Amino acid sequence: MINFEYIRTSSAKAAVDAKTKNKAAQFIAGGTNLVDLMKKGVTAPQRLIDINALPLKEITTDAKGVSIGALVPNSVAAENKLVIEKHPLLSMALNAGASAQLRNMATVGGNIMQRTRCPYFYDITMPCNKRQPQSGCGAMEGYNRMHAIFGASDKCIAVHPSDMCVALAALNATVIVNTTKGEKKIPFADFHRLPGDTPELDNNLAAGELITSVHIPANRFNKNYYLKVRDRLSYAFALVSVAVALEVKDGIIKSASIAMGGVAHKPWRLTEVEKYLIGKSITANVFKEAAEIALTGAKTYQHNAYKIKLGKSAIVEALTKATV
Amino acid sequence: MDNHSLLSETFFADDDRVDGLAKVTGKATFSAEFKPAGLTHAVFVCSTIAKGAIRHLNIYEAKNAPGVIDIIYHLNCPDVPGFKPVDRTTNPNARSFTGLKVFYNNMVVSNGQPIALVVADTYERAVYAASLVKVEYIKENAETDFEKNKFNDKLLKPRPDYVRNQKDAWATAEVKLEEEYTMPIETHNPMEMHATIAVWEGGKLTVYDKSQGPKNVQGELSRLFAIDEKNVQVITEYVGGAFGSGLRSWPHVHAAVIAAKKLNRPVKVTLNREQMFTMVGYRPQCWQKIGIGASKDGKLNGIAHHAVSNTSAYEDFTEGISSVSQYLYDCPNVFTTYKILPLDVNTPTWMRGPGPASGCFALESALDELSYKLNIDPIELRLINNAEVHPQSKLPWTTKFLKECYALGKEKIGWHKRPTTPGTLKEDGMLVGYGMAVGVFGAGRSAATAKGILKNDGSLLLQSAVSDMGPGTSTAMVKIGSEQMGLEENKVRFELGDTDFPTGPTQGGSGSATAVGSAVIAVCDAIKLSLKEMAIETVAAFKNFKPDDIKYENGKLVAANNSASIHFIDLLKEAGKPELQVSKSSSGFAQRDKYATNSFSVHFVKLHVHPVTGVIKLKHMVSAADAGKIISEKTARSQMVGGAVGGIGMAMTEETIIDHRYGRYINSNFVDYHVPVHADVPPMDIVFPNQPDYIISPTGAKGIGEIALVGVAPAILNAVYNATGKRVRDLPVTPDKLL
């Protein structure tokens, strides 16, 4: 294993200062993704800044919404009463991710920061523009069954692997970040990036910035469902997933927020579908039409064409399940 | 069937695995966990091209990394005598080594091939130094694409065809079909990764190795390194699963021995998960085509079964995939072919149920398809064509309780609820399907030797140089010893996994119970005879009896007419002997000219398919196995459950994928290679006719390991068809295939 320094910090400020000083440093919390990446030689931080002692483990609520500390384990967030009561969609998505053991270790902040599971990214003998800019994309002409159908570029067709983030995108969450200049708020939709010409950048977090919490605004969504379709019934990444949050009154959709996972470099909000659904009644035909709109413009590769049909099916099913 | 018994409670009250406590408390020492003094740690550098040669291997930086002791590769590797080509003119019986000759030359024959071994004082330092080795290659075009080459006659190597009467009679039948069935490479992936520690002391070699056959490893190392077998000791006390990957000694075993000899220090080589895909075999990819025909009333008229599976470019691996169609059903006209396709990949090997696992996937799927065309229940169709004698040899089976398996399983799964028209039954909004398929494997008995040590404290110690990769061999041998000698099970111990013990067979092909069990029975018989002779010699009351006049009953020797009796503990004490030692061999099965020998299973599945997303949820599985006498019910059941889980993986999740541009596996890890998880596994019922087969062996057993898995995958695929009306002929059946 490549040698590295390891330090512990006890305040967000100290952590941010330490990272700002050393560009080759990385924060570590649960380590469920970072340690794998280090073992595989994908990343080799000179210094690990352990942030586990930071006071970022609270889940709080006020009139504006629910705040979840960045160090809250996924399993704790999933089982939290406030989360279940106010944002059941998030709880469902968290429980659909990984395995029980991983959910116990993985933090909310780390989940947002996790990197793609594209096999070409993980195998350092293969080309990958995300791991090594300008080396090419192994997946484009290779095995791309798990890959993106939306928002990809000619540099990268990887997908973001998180379930939690799909729900957070649908719930219009905000990522609260500590910087050297103080606190910054990043709307969830602006947090992750599309690959474009710089697939090495997963998100818009600047060097030295630290996620401290996630805020989920209060909402009126009374119909929620997270559907994940995967190759085995637990511990597998999504082929596609759908997060549905609807406000339904007297059988009419008043507001809608829908996102897909497993289809793009970031959680994929379906804004056109949301617009279409407002004012519609709950019928199978409306859901079918929504699915058609959702998959418009999808671009597939050799092994992932099934995602169009599966994506449509998943949207119909998630809407149906949410409104049962 | 008056003596058949199905309820587990009727077997053994206390049926725990004898090594269970050691395993679950971490007290069991696995191969990588031995710590001989001065142990060094070695890590492979592996090729990143699939075919070509090493132009230059730069070890400068690696050699100077902290803790590095040596880097061994083709230019500095000591000669391995057994790697040299054999001269048959001077030595006609010599066996030439066919496997990958590690560090033998600069040739690269597969991606992930070990090309250098970095030895360091710690594992972490060896891993780091290995990452610093720089390799330049002369690259050649590699061919790893099975799909592209499966009909390429320039590459294919045909095995002999089999023809019974007419080749293509099926095509003239009243009802017929011809379909192709394909399956990907499957990788064994046991929990415990392969590891070897080699220790040279003087001229003696000790090897701690994860293996299914310590004697086999001993023999191979003796041949390769030209040392007497008696100077090679192989220790394999515990094995954390293998499924066939431990049937050979692979390059990492040889590399550990080479390094330990060169450095004159103990060397440990452990494989990581990625290397488990490139170095210890796998179930080959395979294409099959079946033509099958029957009369309208369901009598089979012909089967043509063709198969192609891959091997490596440097070694032929065959597993007779299509042979199963020669004997599973009574059919007058049978034609089977089998060809192997060499590709620039590592060599495959036997994986649980080798041959029939792949063959039955095609045959049992085809039979199911035929049943719908005939409108005959799939079980009924199989009963119509049940083979009363072996269709090829016309020999009777030693025992065959396949019909009983149909009956038992059918009842348990609730077969009467199966919809006869696919896609018509719904439950909680889900499509419901029922399916079944048959599994088969050879049964028999190989030669084995065991030693018994009966002590005057009332205990019996049994020993044989075999391994127990998980089926519960030790537990079964303790039960046999206990039953034979009338001793409590806690008074009997079975020691294994050490070549210093008497010779036992490699654990594979479902043969351990019959082979080793027969040796244990022979040992117990010999012990009883020795005790009787000892009684006649030392105890006055027995003086006038012959051994035949004395009975052995629950530890006691009882003379005819009950005129005298003595417990063996007292007898040993009286004779002044602390213990009695006996070694005995039992021979291999010698009646192959009189009998056909097989184990059979029937697997039943009930499942749900989501009508919109195609996600399958298994609801209930039943496996009925004609495995002869069940010696240890709990471990037998566990073995069946484990095989069924392997079958779920084969049917629904497991697939090793190669990127042919690089000839490299791209899912060689547990995230991307999906073995079933608990959520995938439904409640299972295991039922046994439990009919002893005393022709094959005095144990009454026939073997479980393979039939536990063979037939599970087609049973699932047949249930998927029953639920959806969609016939998937390409494994695994992932949700996208059901859209």
Give tens-digit pLDDT for B143-197: 999 999 999 999 999 999 999 999 999 999 999 999 999 999 999 999 999 999 9
Minimal C-alpha gap between A62 and chain B (Å): 37
Residue B713 lies in a domain: no
Q: Is A232 on the interface with B (CB under 8 A)?
A: yes
What confidence category does residue B90 fall into, taking pLDDT thresholds of 50, 70 and 90? confident
What is the CATH number for B530? 3.30.365.10
Question: Quick check: A213 and A80 in contact, CB under 8 A?
Answer: no
The per-residue pLDDT for B6 is 40
- Residue B570: in which H helix or E strand, if any? helix B568-574
- Three-state SS annotation for A145-178: CCCCCCCCCCCCCCCCCCCHHHHHHHCCCEEEEE
Q: What is the mean pLDDT of residues B261-281?
A: 98
Architecture of the domain defined by A223-323: 2-Layer Sandwich (3.30)
Within 10 Å of residue B313's Cβ, how many Cβ atoms?
18
Question: In chain A, what is the straight-line distance between the N-terminal and C-terminal CA atoms, in Å?
Answer: 52
Mean pLDDT score of chain B, rounded to an integer? Answer: 96
**Nearest chain B CA: its distance from A181 CA (Å):** 39
For residue B28, pLDDT beyond 70: yes
Task: Provide the 8-state DSSP code for B296.
Answer: T
Question: Is B664 in contact with B111 (CB distance < 8 Å)?
Answer: yes
- Amino acid, res. B278: T
- Would you say residue B394 lies in a domain? no
> Are B293 and B125 spatial neighbours (Cβ–Cβ below 8 Å)?
no
Strand A182-187 vs strand A174-179: parallel, antiparallel, or unpaired?
A: antiparallel
Going by pLDDT thresholds of 50, 70 and 90, the confidence category of residue B486 is very high
Average pLDDT over residues B199-219: 97
Interface of A with B in 167-226 (CB under 8 A): none
Q: What is the mean pLDDT of residues A39-58?
A: 97
Give the total number of structural domains in chain B: 2
Residue A127 token pair:
């080309």
Q: Using the beta-carbon criterion (under 8 Å), do B131 and A310 form an inter-chain contact? A: no
Level-2 CATH architecture, domain A5-52: 2-Layer Sandwich (3.30)
Residues in chain A: 324
Tell me the pLDDT band of B89, cut-offs 50, 70 and 90.
confident
The full set of domain ranges for chain A reads 5-52, 223-323
Q: How confident is the model at residue B295 (pLDDT cuts 50, 70, 90)?
A: very high
Q: Facing residues of B454 across strands?
A: B460, B580
Query: Residues B450, B494: contact at Cβ < 8 Å?
Result: no
Q: Which of B683, B605, B497, B711 is nearest to B31 (CA)?
A: B497
B3 pLDDT band, cuts 50/70/90, is very low
Which residues, in sequence order, are bridge partners of residue A21? none
Instruction: Average the pLDDT over B712-736 and give the result.
Output: 98
Q: Does A99 touch chain B (CB under 8 A)?
A: yes
In a domain, B682, yes or no: no
* B269 close to B257: Cβ distance less than 8 angstroms: no
Record the tokens describing residue B337, joined without a space: 């072919």
Q: In sequence order, what are the beta bridge partners of A50?
A: A8, A28
> Is the pLDDT confidence value at B1 over 60?
no
Residues B303-324 have a mean pLDDT of 98
Split at pLDDT 50, 70, 90, the class of A112 is very high
| ipTM value | 0.97
B612 touches chain A (CB under 8 A): yes
Mean pLDDT, residues B253-273 taken together: 98
Contacts of range A2-6, beta carbons closer than 8 Å, 24 or more positions apart: A2/A38, A2/A41, A2/A44, A2/B128, A2/B131, A3/B128, A4/A38, A4/A44, A4/A45, A4/A46, A4/A47, A4/A48, A5/A46, A5/A47, A5/A48, A6/A47, A6/A48, A6/A50
Task: Name which of B444, B705, B425, B402 is nearest B590 in CA terms.
Answer: B444
Q: Is A196 exposed, middle or buried (0-12, 13-18, 19+ CB in 10 A)?
A: middle
Computed over every residue of chain A, the mean pLDDT equals 97
Same fold, A5-52 and A223-323: no
Question: pLDDT at residue B9 above 50?
Answer: no
A1 pLDDT band, cuts 50/70/90, is low
Is B298 part of a structural domain of the chain? no
CA A140 to the chain's CA centroid: 22
Kindly state whether residue B629 falls inside one of the protein's structural domains.
Answer: no
pLDDT in tens, B607-658: 999 999 999 999 999 999 999 999 999 999 999 999 999 999 999 999 999 9
The CATH number given to whatever domain includes residue B52 is 3.90.1170.50
Q: What 3-state DSSP class applies to B304?
A: strand
d(CA A73, CA B50): 42
Q: A2–B128: do the CB atoms touch at under 8 Å?
A: yes
The helix (H) or strand (E) run that includes residue B292 is strand B286-294
- CA dist B253 to B189, B206, B269, Å? 18, 12, 8
The β-bridge partners of B162 are: B336
The nearest CA of chain B is from the CA of A317 a distance in Å of 7
Residue with tokens 């002369």: B138
Report d(CA B392, CA B397) in Å as an integer: 12
The amino acid present at A91, given as its one-letter code, is S
Q: Is residue B346 included in any domain, yes or no?
A: no
Domain end marker among B227, B260, B278: B278
Q: What are phi and psi of B617, to 5 degrees?
A: -125, 115
Q: Which domain holds residue B534?
A: 445-586
- CB distance B659–A306 less than 8 Å? no
